[in-house]
Chains A and B, each alone.
Chain A
């Protein structure tokens, strides 16, 4: 039961986290800056009896992991902006049919081909609203290599527990960063597996809720529980049902299964919130600069608090509101033209000034840029 100390890269840590959580299937397509994820899975899965496949495109990779998931394997894909765009339709399909899977997006500067080797956090709203239709989203954003391991592990667990795609929103800064990490021993990591049906195959209805947790069990193909699955709105039998009350019931449940547990899903770090009249909110790679800015501000004697969000979707509204309600300046630091700042503005009292420290030119935002948005820095 000893902790694991090593020099590790962010992309590599996502692979380690996934493997430790029980992932045994990876399908992907090469794209910078996520290729190390694929390369690492290609080397590490076969010795574990797992499968790696390089598919013919991004869409096929997403389809393959959903297929593998239904066949009973925990499955992951990784990509970056252009590939994340291509995968969206099947991310929506996975939401609709409730297929557990994890998508790692090592964000780079966009739109389009953008800057393939430069950091950005421009896909945060895409993770929420990228696929068509109303649907819930689960997404995390690591701000260190150790976090990448832990949050990818968590993402796999959540995918299994809630039966839906979970997105790990890395960015180039963290994906390519190598740093010293101290990870808990494998014995300390608690693995969650999808539920298996309790009843007989004859009475099995794939979308019938046996427990009160709103999440139906998922037997793997080949286990004797034969069922139909479709991306059309369906009833508890899994077959299409074009009736308003059934449409509403399914859509409500897809949202409720997350809403009901959302407060247990909020992962974050906070520093000095109580003795503070100003607040910095950040996440992912930008949070490293935010941490530096917070440290420098404190050294200057400013009363500043720091909130680093790890869970992005569902957006931790209650946490942000609690941290920010008594502040007279809130700075949201991110590497885009202002994405999560909109969420902060949406939930905060309109009288509290909210400022963005934003950078979207392919360069990691600096602590100085964030400091410049605080009051009292000269």
Chain B
């Protein structure tokens, strides 16, 4: 496959640390875009602030690196202003689940045709290792030196409840299913959410007895449970596991399509 054409090769190598999972997530996204067959001129990739949010710089589309937490709000303006555009948001567990959490649930609620890919590495990497709303309980981080006492968010359950059209979670270890989630998410008209479990060996692994990137990938492999299998498991058994698979797959009318319908009704004198 000729995937190089989607990259700004003169901007590579990327800034991510050796062993970081984000490159794998980015290439899964590129494969998803390739499968969708979109004209790169019509693709807008928006991000906030954080390690994941640096990805758009390497991708040869219309790319917008915004402020912390608000990428979905910028993307909402872009998509509503020109519904023809294919709008993808790249975010992380800090950018998307903490400061940007409110925008995420409202984009789901509207079912606006934005595709959000959240790189979940369980940590604030860009600021050197503080705990995030998705950091597992007990984990060590620079701001939880005695172990994290906050329970993590399950954003797949949250986005599903908030009316997202498509919700899936995959891991960097299980690359093929991750790519297939991207493909499915991008084929949807409505709001899609894909969570990609990534690894941060520098700030998460080192502190939490996962000494190498390989160990972290093995941890992903060992702890992943398919959503169908998880349905038959007790909550205690699922403690500390990564439930992967498709959480929601619906076909509700997309927001900007509905908006355009409203406009033509008004202009046609029906309202």
Q: How far is the CB of B47 from chain A (nearest CB, A)?
A: 9
In contact, A93 and B44 (Cβ under 8 angstroms): no
- Inside 8 A of A114's CB, which chain B residues have their CB? none
- Give the residues in chain A near B63, CB-CB below 8 Å: 226-229
Main secondary structure of the interface of A (DSSP, over half): mixed
Instruction: Flag whether B78 is at the interface (Cβ < 8 A).
Output: yes
Contact indicator A220/B41 (Cβ below 8 Å): no
Inter-chain contact B62/A227, CB cutoff 8 Å: yes
A-contact 0/1 string along B51-81, CB 8 Å cutoff: 0000011001111111100100111111011
Chain B residues whose C-beta falls within 8 Å of the C-beta of A49 in the assembled complex = 263, 267
B1-41 CB mask vs A (1 if < 8 Å, else 0) is: 00000001001000000000000000000000000000011
- B77 A222 Cβ-Cβ under 8 A: no
Closest to A74 in B: B81
Is the pair B102, A63 in contact by a Cβ cutoff of 8 Å? no
Contact status of A220 and B82, CB under 8 A, knowing A93-B67, A228-B65, A231-B65: yes
- Which residues of chain A are within 8 angstroms of B103 by Cβ–Cβ distance? 56, 60
User: Is the Cβ of B76 less than 8 Å from the Cβ of A93?
Assistant: no
Q: A89's closest neighbor in chain B, by CB?
A: B67
User: Does A226 contact B60, Cβ atoms closer than 8 Å?
Assistant: yes
Q: Which of A65, A67, A220, A227 contacts B75 (CB 8 A)?
A: A67
Contact B41 A223 (CB under 8 A): yes
Complex contacts, B267 vs chain A, CB 8 Å: 47, 49
- Distance A339 CA – B96 CA, assembled complex (angstroms): 39
Q: B67 to chain A: which residues have CB within 8 Å? A: 63, 89-90, 93, 231
Q: In the complex, what's the smallest C-beta–C-beta distance from B109 to chain A, in angstroms?
A: 9
Known contacts A25-B81, A220-B82, A226-B60; is A67 also within 8 Å of B41 by CB? no
Within 8 Å of chain B (Cβ to Cβ): is A254?
A: no
Q: How far is the CB of A39 from chain B (nearest CB, A)?
A: 16
Q: Which of A216-238 contact B (CB under 8 A)?
A: 220-224, 226-232
* Contact residues of B between 69 and 100, Cβ < 8 Å to A: 70, 73-78, 80-82, 84-85
Checking B64, B70, B81, B259 against A229 with a beta-carbon cut-off of 8 angstroms, the contacting residue is B64
Is B241 interfacial (CB 8 A cutoff)?
Answer: no
Measured between beta carbons, the chain A residues less than 8 angstroms from B46 are 67
Proximity string of chain B (161-178) to chain A, C-beta cutoff 8 Å, 1 when within and 0 when not: 000000000000000000
Please state if B56 and A228 are interface contacts (CB–CB under 8 Å). Answer: yes
Interface pair B70/A224, CB less than 8 Å apart: no
Classify chain A's interface size. 35 or more
Q: Which residue of chain B is the closest to A101 with respect to CB atoms?
A: B77
Complex contact B76–A67 (CB within 8 A): yes
Taken together as a complex, chains A and B put the C-alpha atoms of A60 and B70 apart, in Å, by 7
Across the interface, do A70 and B64 meet the contact criterion of CB distance under 8 Å?
yes
Q: Which residues of A sit under 8 angstroms from B11, Cβ to Cβ?
A: 239
Which single residue of chain B is at the shortest CB-CB distance from A228? B63
Residues of A with C-beta under 8 A to B60: 226
Contact B73 A71 (CB under 8 A): no
The residue in A25, A66, A67, A229 that gathers the most chain B C-beta atoms within 10 A of its C-beta is A67
The verdict on A63 contacting B70 (CB below 8 Å), with A27-B77, A222-B42, A224-B41 known, is yes
Min Cβ gap B99→A in Å is 10
Tell me if A51 counts as interface (CB < 8 A to partner B): yes
Question: At the interface, yes or no: B207 with Cβ under 8 Å from chain A?
Answer: no
A170 at the interface (CB under 8 A from B): no
Q: How does the 8 Å CB contact mask read for B254-271 relative to A, with 1 for contact and 0 for none?
A: 000001001100110000
CB A230 to nearest CB in B, in angstroms, measures: 4
Interface band, chain B: 35 or more
**A179 part of interface (Cβ distance < 8 Å):** no
Q: Which residue of chain B lies nearest to A93 when distances are taken between CB atoms in the complex? A: B67
Contact of B106 with A by CB under 8 A: yes
B263 surroundings in chain A (CB, below 8 A): 46-47, 49
Question: What residues of B have a CB within 8 angstroms of the CB of A60 in the complex?
Answer: 70, 73, 76, 102-103, 106
Q: Which of A59, A66, A223 contacts B77 (CB 8 A)?
A: A66
Interface residue ranges of A44-99 to B (CB < 8 Å):
46-47, 49, 51, 53, 55-57, 59-61, 63-73, 75, 89-90, 93
What separation, in Å, do the CA atoms of A56 and B107 have in the docked complex? 9
Cα separation A231 to B66 with both chains bound (whole Å): 6
Is B82 a contact partner of A64 (Cβ separation < 8 A)? no
Interchain CA distance A60-B66 in the complex, whole Å: 12
Q: Which residues of B contact A53 (CB under 8 A)?
A: 76-77, 80
Closest CB of chain A to B256's CB: distance in Å?
A: 9
Q: A89-B67, A90-B70 are in contact. Are A221 and B44 (CB under 8 A)?
A: yes
Q: Which of A46, A59, A221 contacts B73 (CB 8 A)?
A: A59
**B74 touches which of A56, A57, A63, A240 (Cβ 8 Å):** A63
In whole angstroms, how far apart are the Cα atoms of A229 and B56 in the complex? 10
**Quick one: given A49-B263, A71-B82, are A64 and B66 in contact (CB under 8 Å)?**
no
Residues on B with beta carbons closer than 8 Å to the beta carbon of A223: 41
What's the Cα separation between A90 and B73 when bound, in Å? Answer: 11
B52 shortest CB reach to chain A, Å: 14
Contacts of B85 in A (CB 8 A): 71, 221-222
Contact, CB under 8 Å: B76 / A64: yes
Closest to A65 in B: B77
Structural contact, A56 and B102, CB atoms closer than 8 A = yes
With A57-B102, A67-B46, A67-B75 given, is the CB distance from A51 to B80 under 8 Å? Answer: yes
Residues of A within 8 A of B44 (CB): 71, 221-222
A61 CA to B263 CA in the complex, in Å?
21
Please tell me if the beta carbons of B81 and A75 are within 8 angstroms of each other in the complex. Answer: yes
Q: What would be 25 A-B contacts, judged by CB atoms less than 8 Å apart?
A: A46-B262, A47-B266, A53-B76, A53-B77, A55-B73, A59-B73, A60-B76, A63-B73, A64-B77, A69-B81, A70-B78, A71-B44, A71-B78, A73-B82, A93-B66, A220-B82, A221-B82, A222-B42, A222-B85, A226-B41, A227-B62, A228-B56, A228-B57, A230-B65, A240-B57
Interchain residue pairs A-B with the least CB separation, the first 5: A67-B77, A64-B77, A63-B73, A60-B73, A68-B81
